[in-house]
Amino acid sequence: MNLTLKVWRQKHTNAAGQFVTYPATAVLEDMSFLEMLDVVNEGLIGRGEEPIAFDSDCREGICGMCSLVINGIPHGGHKGTATCQLHMRHFHDGETITIEPWRARAFPPIKDLVVDRGSFDRIIQAGGFVSVNTGGTPDGNAIPVPKPDADLAMDAAACIGCGACVAACKNASAMLFVAAKVSHLNLLPQGKVEKDRRALNMVRQMDAEGFGSCTVTGSCEAVCPKEISLSFIAKLNRDYGVAALKGG
């Protein structure tokens, strides 16, 4: 396939960005989207030009580093698929593909397609952990966890912290991410001890970082590569409401 890429280029955080057009030639359908960009970058480097900066790490849908808005949709719009898992067989010869970074006030641009998602780290630091002593591994395993709770906690724990939910939201809300991170701990006996403090602190940090409000449009769930359910947002609202009523 021969494709045309319209790529957002931005030298640094405060520079004005713009779309720059590049050809992507001899693209194989078995290439991943990021491998296609690697090949384009090899060409740019060979010509002495600055390669396109983009984030990636595991390239198998685990780490949450990849973060491209492809043709207007975070991760490209294929169900349960992160950018690194997207293959070029989904595109057609002659197609023009637009590639942009996540756009949100709480994710400031760093360079080209790379944004700073440190705000997510600070939300985790505000409460996304268990600090009570649960003993060693055998002690932890000895605590009975009802199967439905264990399953639901695992569903929430699937969140890879990529930020696509924020990029898709018209208000740049981080509620799906925060809901997943609060829920996977609040559902388990070891995490319940700090349940109230966790919900309050993580939501307060989310607000302090400048993320917008949730109006439950569902765009987050639609683009989430881990298919995190909107129902976790309802659960977070309940956990937060209860904690606030207790005077937190």
Which positions from 169 to 188 touch ligand SF4 by CB under 6 A, shown as an x/- string? -------xx--x--------
243 binds, options ligand FES, ligand SF4, none, Cβ within 5 to 8 A by partner type? none
**Residue whose C-alpha is closest to residue 74's, from 181, 4, 210, 166:** 166
Which positions from 142 to 161 touch ligand SF4 by CB under 6 A, shown as an x/- string? -----------------xxx
What span, in angstroms and rounded, lies between the C-alpha atoms of 70 and 225? Answer: 14
228 binds, options ligand SF4, ligand FES, none, Cβ within 5 to 8 A by partner type? ligand SF4
Binding-site member from 68, 160, 182, 185 for ligand FES (CB under 6 A) = 160
Binding-site member from 69, 104, 106, 224 for ligand SF4 (CB under 6 A) = 224
Residue matched to tokens 């397609």 = 113
Binding-site member from 162, 187, 200, 203 for ligand SF4 (CB under 6 A) = 162
Site for ligand FES in 31-60 (CB under 6 A): 56-59
The one-letter amino acid at 56: S
The one-letter amino acid at 118: G
What span, in angstroms and rounded, lies between the C-alpha atoms of 23 and 147? Answer: 52
> Taking CB under 6 A as the rule, does residue 61 contact ligand FES?
yes
How many other C-beta atoms lie within 10 A of the C-beta of residue 117? Answer: 22
> Taking CB under 6 A as the rule, does residue 65 contact ligand FES?
yes
First and final CA of the chain: distance in angstroms?
Answer: 58
Strand partners, 212: 173
How many other C-beta atoms lie within 10 A of the C-beta of residue 139? Answer: 10
The one-letter amino acid at 219: S
Question: Taking a C-beta distance cutoff of 8 angstroms, is the pair 230, 216 a contact?
Answer: yes
**Residue whose C-alpha is closest to residue 61's, from 34, 96, 97:** 34
Binding range to ligand FES, per CB under 6 A, among 2-10, 82-90, 94-102, 228-236 = 82-90
User: Closest separation between CB of residue 70 and ligand SF4, Å?
Assistant: 14
List Cβ neighbours of 77 (8 Å cut-off, separation of 6 or more): 70, 71, 223
> Taking CB under 6 A as the rule, does residue 81 contact ligand FES?
no
User: Closest separation between CB of residue 82 and ligand FES, Å?
Assistant: 4
62 binds, options ligand FES, ligand SF4, none, Cβ within 5 to 8 A by partner type? ligand FES
159 binds, options ligand FES, ligand SF4, none, Cβ within 5 to 8 A by partner type? ligand SF4
What span, in angstroms and rounded, lies between the C-alpha atoms of 9 and 11? Answer: 7
User: Closest separation between CB of residue 204 and ligand SF4, Å?
Assistant: 19
Q: Would you tell me which residues interact with ligand FES (CB under 6 A)?
A: 56-59, 61-66, 82-84, 160
Q: Would you tell me which residues interact with ligand SF4 (CB under 6 A)?
A: 159-165, 176-177, 180, 224-226, 228
